[in-house]
Amino acid sequence: MPTTFRAVPSAPMLRRTVTLLALFALLALGPRDATAQRNSTGDAGSIYSRFGIGQLESFASSQSEALGGGGAALWTYNYPTFDNPASLSRQVVVRAVGGFRMQRLTIEDAAGSSSTINSGSLGAVQFGLPILQDRFGLGFSFTPYSRVNYQVQTRGELITDPLQQDTTAYRISYEGAGGLQELSAGAGYRVTDALSLGLSADMIFGIIEDGRRTIFESSAFTETNLTTSTQTRGVTATGGALYTLSNVFREQDDLNVGLSIRLPTKLDADRSRTLGESLDRDTLAADLSGDIDLPWSLRSGLSYRTDNRWTATVNARYEPWSQFDSDFGFPGFDPDGASQMNDRLRLSGGLEVVPAGDDQLAPYLQRVAYRLGGYYDQAYVAPSDDLSLRTIAVTGGLGLPTAFPGTHLDINFQVGTRGSAEDDFVRDLFVGFSATLNMGERWFRKRKLR
Amino acid sequence: MKGFPLALLLTGLLLWSACDDASTVGVDLVGEQGAPTTERLDLATLSSVPYDDVTGGATRLLTGDVDDPALGRITATSFLDLSGTFGAPGDSTIQEVSLRLAPDYVYGDTTATLTLALAEVLDMWDDEGLTADTTLSTAATPLTETSFVPTDSLVTLTLPDTWIAENGDLFTGDDFEDAFVGFALQSTTPGAVVGFSASASELRVVTPSDTIEYQITKTLSTLGREGSPALPPDQTLLQDGVGPTVQFDLDLSSFADTPLNGAVIRFFTRSETLGTLPPHFVRPTLDRVQIVLVDEDDGEPVELELDDEAIDEDGTLSFSSAALRELFQQTTFGEDLYDALELRVAPSDNSISPLLLYTPEAADDLAPEVLLTISPADQ
């Protein structure tokens, strides 16, 4: 009798994956929406996130995060990588990824004063689905695009009654929250063994809130919380190509060249100004509507892998933010006047070693992936023409195999500095950790029937 | 146990992020945006408007006739009703009925001999909400009258025996409160307006075996003014009971959509500028004033107290309540929440006491002023 095969889902695995994925989605969506209120309870980040549309985020995969953050040419079967949708073609198992990040930020100014702020946020949620194993795959990703998260305050004294010379002390807390998110759905197809092409549709949306809370020492005066809220949404597309050269320098090595381009994006935006707390806000004047034009983005990279032990990658990202335009003003951008928007250049590189290579029976520590990298990021916006805002950081991490086959826990770190403690500027010194759970399993098995 | 290291890691990371130190480091990148300021502005309008106070149900009965050399002649007639239980059902012989009044207020000549007449009210009445221009029908002929000086601690009006003979069964019967509708206290000589405490006054009924007190349960003071007050040109009059009151408004158009942290409205009062008073003439002045929002809701008048403040020793009257700030804040948002803002005297103080307020025409340091503490929105 002929042998036939039928694809059937592995029900327990499917349920577990879907449950975990839903949990990640809930965790990611819920607290992100709550970010707008979080500052008042003490979670804040860099004051530089006040400028432009916030501090831009880069997360292609937890592997690439540890290798400096670029992933245009980085692909493995263990990680869906979303910097380049072409890499989605190279998947063999269903993967669900979710994680969170912590950061300890020390801010120093020119006077030598410093402040330390801790913050935490949920990271990306990603889902990779191979349709044709190692040939055609889909990917879905929900990642932060930018983040606004700052809290800084000033103090003063106000003459409240010129006649009687009454005074009261006050404090103004400048608070920013929110940011843009990116929801992508992509597909990659391996045209030949060497060449993959991919395309993704990317929705960019979110709310940016800049607030100013004025608090008085005297109870005779009412605290006011003035918030400017900009709500945006728009769609763009990313196309990418990934070309692999095998056995370039030795047997069992491959050299990958990746390139992806994201189209310029026009975001529809509504801006409102409110006074009061979250559930009891008075809207000041009518909401304004307008557009925000984000520039195109070019990502390119090289990666080299040998023996499934060593992986090296270098990446570059270029975004001409000098072309940024908006009907609304943002700190660092005045639609009718001066702008401190610059072209963004991000360079990164990293090295990974898995001592055991493909040997799944090797001792545990030899199956761990050890990663080290770094990046340089020329920011797209600066507080002043006098400051070119750059971030330099060292990254690294461990890819820890778990007892569940195909599932990894990635613990990454990054240590870096941003800005300069000169004049009115500050220097950020940050230490960040992230934990990302990467689950992989086969949803469809070929069962032999007689 | 496999999950223990992961749980430990997550817990540690969460604890690590659980503290914060918001500070001023980096504030120079923001600048001094939105620093609060105090803005002073004048009242846009201020006017004197007639007002008949609600005197029905007040705790004080006003009766008399006073001619204030500065503010004109004011007359007062009061009405009262009584309630009580005849305490001697086996003894229906009433020997004496007297109304004992306890003065607690005087406006006018404290040495004048005043004549007070007592007359019967003819119709049933309810004192709730009655204003000072309300008149009740009374008998043409008084039942009795007495003379007193305003400094007396007790004024007694003894009802004649003929009235007792005709109306004695009012007390011994079961329906005193329906059968008896009240008395009017009328002044027949000028000199002063006297206030009697309703709670300290009573109707005393004497029988051979008992003395029964009937309490005052309804009150009304009808007030009238003759002539116009002679006021300095930069002052306006606020007078309890008989009016007038003061309406005013602000022009907040230059503060549209501006966050408001505080609001103070300040009036300056100088009642001594009304001139020298005649010997023994007492003119009590107000010590507490309210700000009241006046509006109409579906044709129904709405009054809402926004603040109630005492006048300082130096004659300054300052209002700064949260309700006032909130009203002005909503006004800066473009809402039209009221027809007028008025100064009123606290309803519990039934009197004809006046207060003189400087108007916007007064010198800068005496004119009413508004102090707004704002956080500029456009910075």
CATH number at residue A397: 2.40.160
The two beta strands, A195-216 and A265-277, are unpaired
Domain that holds residue A376: 4-449
pLDDT for res A292: 97
Decide if pLDDT at A346 tops 90.
yes
Name the closest residue on chain B to residue A169, using Cα atoms.
Answer: B36
Contacts of A102 in chain B (CB under 8 A): 13, 16-17
Predicted ipTM of the assembly: 0.75
- The mean pLDDT of B153-181, rounded to a whole number, is 90
- Scanning A247-391, the segments in alpha helix (DSSP H) are 364-367
Window A:140-199, CB contacts with B under 8 Å: 150-156, 158-163, 170, 172-174
- CB contact under 8 Å between A214 and B333, yes or no, is no
- CB contact under 8 Å between A172 and B9, yes or no, is no
- Residue A267, min C-alpha distance to chain B (Å): 25
The two beta strands, B340-345 and B245-249, are antiparallel
Bridge partner residues of A377 (DSSP): A346, A391
A435–B contact, CB cutoff 8 A: yes
d(CA A45, CA A443): 40
- Over residues A189-219, the pLDDT tens digits come to 999 999 999 999 999 999 999 999 999 999 9
SS3 for B187? strand
- CB contact under 8 Å between A154 and B17, yes or no, is no
Measured CA distances, A16 to A21, A93, A96, A192, B2 (Å): 8, 14, 11, 34, 17
pLDDT for res A162: 82
Bridge partner residues of A303 (DSSP): A256, A313
Task: For chains A and B, count residue pairs whose Cβ atoms are closer than 8 Å.
Answer: 156
- Residue B244, min C-alpha distance to chain A (Å): 30
d(CA A197, CA A84): 9
- Residue A238, min C-alpha distance to chain B (Å): 34
pLDDT for res A33: 36
Burial classification of residue B166, based on how many CB atoms lie within 10 Å of its CB (0-12 exposed, 13-18 middle, 19 or more buried): exposed
Nearest by CB: B34 against A119, A214, A433: A214
Nearest by CB: B16 against A107, A118, A411: A118
- Over residues A376-404, the pLDDT tens digits come to 999 999 888 888 899 999 999 999 999 88
Nearest by CB: B22 against A44, A216, A222: A44
Mutate to test the interface with A, among B17, B40, B307, B316 (most CBs of A within 10 A): B17
pLDDT for res B227: 85
pLDDT for res A291: 97
Mean of all residue pLDDT scores within chain A? 87
Yes or no: say if B331 and B306 are a contact pair by the CB < 8 Å rule. no
pLDDT for res A406: 85
- The mean pLDDT of B138-157, rounded to a whole number, is 95
d(CA B17, CA A435): 14
Contacts of A383 in chain B (CB under 8 A): 29
First to last CA, chain A: 7
Window A:95-124, CB contacts with B under 8 Å: 100, 102-104, 107-109, 113-120
Buried b (16+ CB within 10 A) or exposed e, B200-217: ebbbebebeeeebebebe
- The mean pLDDT of A120-131, rounded to a whole number, is 90
d(CA B351, CA B373): 36
Amino acid at B263: A
- CB contact under 8 Å between B24 and A47, yes or no, is no
d(CA B167, CA A42): 80
Strand ranges, E, within A44-149? 55-56, 94-109, 114-132, 136-144, 146-147
- Residue A54, min C-alpha distance to chain B (Å): 14
d(CA A305, CA A258): 14
d(CA B5, CA A435): 13
Decide if pLDDT at A10 tops 60.
no
Decide if pLDDT at A186 tops 90.
yes
- The mean pLDDT of A303-326, rounded to a whole number, is 95
Decide if pLDDT at A180 tops 50.
yes
Of A16-30, B37-51, B234-248, the range with the lowest mean pLDDT is: A16-30
Burial classification of residue B278, based on how many CB atoms lie within 10 Å of its CB (0-12 exposed, 13-18 middle, 19 or more buried): exposed
pLDDT for res A37: 33
- CB contact under 8 Å between B22 and A156, yes or no, is no
Yes or no: say if B202 and B215 are a contact pair by the CB < 8 Å rule. yes
Alpha carbon B71 to chain centroid, angstroms:
19
Contacts of A224 in chain B (CB under 8 A): 259-261, 375
d(CA A343, CA A340): 10
Dihedral Cα B364, B365, B371, B376, nearest 10 deg: 60
d(CA B58, CA B63): 13
- Over residues B76-128, the pLDDT tens digits come to 999 999 999 887 667 778 899 999 999 999 999 999 999 999 999 999 999 99
Count of domains forming chain A:
1
- Residue B233, min C-alpha distance to chain A (Å): 24
Nearest by CB: A214 against B18, B261, B369: B261
